[in-house]
């Protein structure tokens, strides 16, 4: 009786058997990643110090389907397939003719979509003899996911956690330590780069770009260690496509096709995970829903950034990637959606935006918490601050449908729960939420640092 169902559940044997590689369907290939020293396209050898070879192969693969190894599928079975919900109570509260669906990734052990790639990365590293992983974390979601994956596959995990989150979210740190990881606030005294930043600014609140620099330095200076990252890179987006593949099957169970598919975008991975399978289907001649990325006004790379080559980190250690960027020196205000606090965007998502295959909208922190509370009161699930940006766009779409008096089928990714974000909700509920506006001058300054870098 799809007509009055609230959730659409797939059996364990419907966990996808392969990841979907959008490179196979793209009208034009993504611009090459460039070596920061030579300005030439990088090859597998350049990435080998950081990543295991199987992951590097996935980045260059043109195969549409990349098989998911059995041990990864077995670990996915702890929480996949994830449920698809019809937001009937939210629809009623909005008095909208729209049908709103959400894919819920907050039921994973660490509370977000991030284990979808953490488990894959841990597995491939372990298989190639790596004993220790170094990484950064913003909101703590990625660190928790990798700590969990490290526990599943028997790897040590070292996490550089952005200072502002480290202070705002002590329980995220405790969760990582419970899984066996070691966690340090970034900038940290554990790396040369961290020490140099602390010497200049002892009270530095940190940033994702800075923490990436520390994790890379840690990787190259510790034998047996490789680097793991939770977003932006092509193979991360690839691993997340289990979300959209399941969602396509679940929407069919519901007997509907989405008119619009929405995800919040920090580095782009949960957005891509849900939307790429839909975009690919459209590129192969299937239905073409509108696709919208929701980002914060405080770090609006897709709506206000430039599309050109930039570094992924603050210390200019990563390769140069062509992406929407606010400049690698740009340090976003400490908004509570820590996972969206990044100066750049995945190169694949950026290219799709440039080609008009996706849209983007920026959401103010206040509006995002307003709808976070509204959603919790209607649907019961407390959303993480990041997906409240997607909820805001979904609600705007539903209200537009109401104004037009026409139905609209809306699907968004509820990519994490907010149980570790209660201090942020407390600030909102007590009227103390910070009012960060779009930092136009800071962005203009940061973009100046791109002069002299390849434009592409
Ligand atoms: C990490 C994270 C994000 C941002 O990362 P993306 O790669 O853009 O998905 C968004 N939401 C949650 C819950 C996260 O943990």
Q: Is the pLDDT of residue 157 over 90?
A: yes
Residue 430: strand, helix, or coil: coil
**Residue 2 has what pLDDT?**
52
pLDDT band at 423 (very low <50, low <70, confident <90, very high): very high
Greater confidence (39 vs 412) lies with 412
Tokens of 381: 């699930």
Ligand 1 probe mutation, 102, 108, 111, 112, most atoms within 8 A of CB: 112
Q: Could you tell me the distance, in angstroms and rounded to a whole number, from the CA of residue 405 to the centre of ligand 1?
A: 33
- The Cβ of residue 427 has, within 10 Å, a number of other Cβ atoms equal to 15
Q: Could you tell me the distance, in angstroms and rounded to a whole number, from the CA of residue 340 to the centre of ligand 1?
A: 7
pLDDT band at 338 (very low <50, low <70, confident <90, very high): confident
pLDDT in tens, 257-270: 999 999 999 999 99
What's the whole-number mean pLDDT along residues 365-376? 98
Q: How many helices (H) and strands (E) does the chain have?
A: 19, 15
Greater confidence (139 vs 16) lies with 16
Q: Could you tell me the distance, in angstroms and rounded to a whole number, from the CA of residue 273 to the centre of ligand 1?
A: 11
What's the whole-number mean pLDDT along residues 331-347? 92
**Residue 1 has what pLDDT?**
45
**Residue 68 has what pLDDT?**
98
Which protein residue's CA is at the shortest distance from atom 14 of ligand 1? 339
Ligand 1 probe mutation, 114, 142, 232, 336, most atoms within 8 A of CB: 114
**Residue 414 has what pLDDT?**
99
Q: Could you tell me the distance, in angstroms and rounded to a whole number, from the CA of residue 46 to the centre of ligand 1?
A: 27
Ligand 1 probe mutation, 141, 262, 337, 343, most atoms within 8 A of CB: 141
The answer to whether residues 302 and 293 touch, using CB atoms and an 8 Å cutoff, is yes
The answer to whether residues 453 and 344 touch, using CB atoms and an 8 Å cutoff, is no
What's the whole-number mean pLDDT along residues 433-449? 93
**Residue 6 has what pLDDT?**
97
Percent pLDDT > 70 in the chain is 99
Q: Could you tell me the distance, in angstroms and rounded to a whole number, from the CA of residue 11 to the centre of ligand 1?
A: 26
Q: Could you tell me the distance, in angstroms and rounded to a whole number, from the CA of residue 223 to the centre of ligand 1?
A: 29
Which protein residue's CA is at the shortest distance from atom 13 of ligand 1? 416
Task: Name the nearest CA neighbour of 377 among 425, 420, 432.
Answer: 425
Mean residue pLDDT of the chain comes to 96
Structural domain spans, the chain? 7-15+68-111+235-450
Q: Could you tell me the distance, in angstroms and rounded to a whole number, from the CA of residue 406 to the centre of ligand 1?
A: 32
User: Beta strands 84-86 and 99-104: pairing type?
Assistant: antiparallel
Task: Name the nearest CA neighbour of 56 among 46, 64, 70, 41.
Answer: 46
Q: Could you tell me the distance, in angstroms and rounded to a whole number, from the CA of residue 404 to the centre of ligand 1?
A: 32
Q: Could you tell me the distance, in angstroms and rounded to a whole number, from the CA of residue 4 to the centre of ligand 1?
A: 31
Burial 86-107, CB ≥16 within 10 A → b, else e? bbebbbeebebebbbbbbbbbb
* DSSP code per residue over 68-111: PPHHHHHHHTTT-SPPEEE-HHHHHHHT-S-EEEEEE-TTSTTS
Percent pLDDT > 90 in the chain is 90
**Residue 128 has what pLDDT?**
97
3-state secondary structure 232-256: CCHHHHHHHCHHHHHHHHHHHHHCC
Q: Is the pLDDT of residue 421 over 50?
A: yes
What's the whole-number mean pLDDT along residues 237-249? 99
Q: What residues does ligand 1 touch, defined as CB less than 6 Å away? A: 112, 114, 139, 141-142, 230-231, 264-271, 339-340, 384, 386-387, 415-416
pLDDT band at 25 (very low <50, low <70, confident <90, very high): very high
Record the pTM. 0.96
Q: Which CATH number fits domain 7-15+68-111+235-450: 3.30.465.10, 1.20.140.10, 3.40.50.1100, 3.30.1330.10?
A: 3.40.50.1100
**Residue 437 has what pLDDT?**
87
Ligand 1 probe mutation, 299, 340, 382, 424, most atoms within 8 A of CB: 340
**Residue 94 has what pLDDT?**
98
Dist CA 178 CA 406 (whole Å): 50
């Amino acid at each position: 009786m799809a007509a009055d169902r609230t959730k659409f559940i797939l059996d364990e044997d419907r966990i996808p058997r392969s990841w979907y590689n959008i490179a196979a369907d793209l009208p034009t290939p993504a611009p090459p990643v460039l070596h920061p020293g030579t300005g030439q396209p990088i090859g597998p050898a350049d990435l080998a110090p950081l990543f295991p070879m199987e992951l590097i192969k996935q980045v260059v693969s043109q195969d549409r389907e990349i098989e998911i190894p059995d041990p990864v599928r077995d670990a996915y079975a702890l929480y996949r397939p994830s449920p698809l919900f019809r937001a009937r109570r939210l629809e009623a509260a909005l008095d909208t003719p729209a049908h709103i669906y959400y894919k819920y990734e907050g039921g994973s052990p660490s509370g977000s979509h991030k284990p979808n790639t953490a488990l894959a990365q841990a597995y491939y590293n372990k298989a190639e003899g790596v004993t220790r992983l170094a990484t950064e974390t913003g909101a703590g979601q990625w660190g928790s996911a990798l700590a969990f994956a490290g526990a599943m596959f028997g790897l040590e995990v070292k996490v550089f956690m952005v200072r502002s989150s480290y202070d705002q979210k002590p329980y995220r740190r405790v969760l990582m330590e419970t899984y066996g990881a070691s966690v340090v606030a970034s900038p940290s005294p554990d790396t040369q780069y961290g020490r140099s930043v602390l010497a200049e600014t002892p009270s530095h609140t940190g940033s994702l770009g800075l923490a990436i620099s520390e994790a890379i330095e840690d990787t190259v200076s510790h034998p047996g260690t490789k680097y793991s990252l939770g977003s932006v890179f092509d193979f991360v987006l690839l691993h997340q496509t289990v979300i959209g593949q399941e969602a396509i099957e679940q929407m069919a169970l519901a007997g509907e096709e989405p008119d619009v598919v929405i995800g919040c975008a920090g580095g782009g991975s949960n957005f891509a995970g849900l939307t790429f399978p839909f975009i690919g289907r459209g590129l192969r001649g299937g239905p073409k829903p509108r696709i919208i990325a929701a980002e914060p006004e405080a770090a609006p790379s897709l709506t206000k950034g430039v599309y050109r080559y930039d570094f992924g980190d603050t210390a200019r250690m990563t390769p140069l990637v062509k992406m929407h960027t606010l400049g690698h020196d740009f340090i976003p205000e400490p908004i509570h959606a820590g996972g969206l606090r990044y100066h750049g965007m995945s190169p694949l998502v950026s290219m799709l935006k440039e080609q008009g295959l996706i849209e983007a909208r920026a959401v103010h922190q206040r509006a995002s918490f307003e709808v976070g509370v509204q959603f919790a009161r209607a649907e019961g699930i407390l959303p993480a601050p990041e997906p409240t940006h997607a909820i805001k766009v979904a609600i705007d779409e539903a209200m537009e449908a109401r104004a037009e008096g026409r139905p609209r089928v809306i699907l968004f990714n509820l990519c994490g729960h907010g149980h570790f974000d209660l201090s942020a909700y407390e600030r909102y509920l007590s009227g103390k939420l910070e009012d960060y506006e779009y930092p136009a001058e800071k962005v203009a300054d940061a973009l100046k640092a791109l002069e002299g870098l390849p434009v592409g």
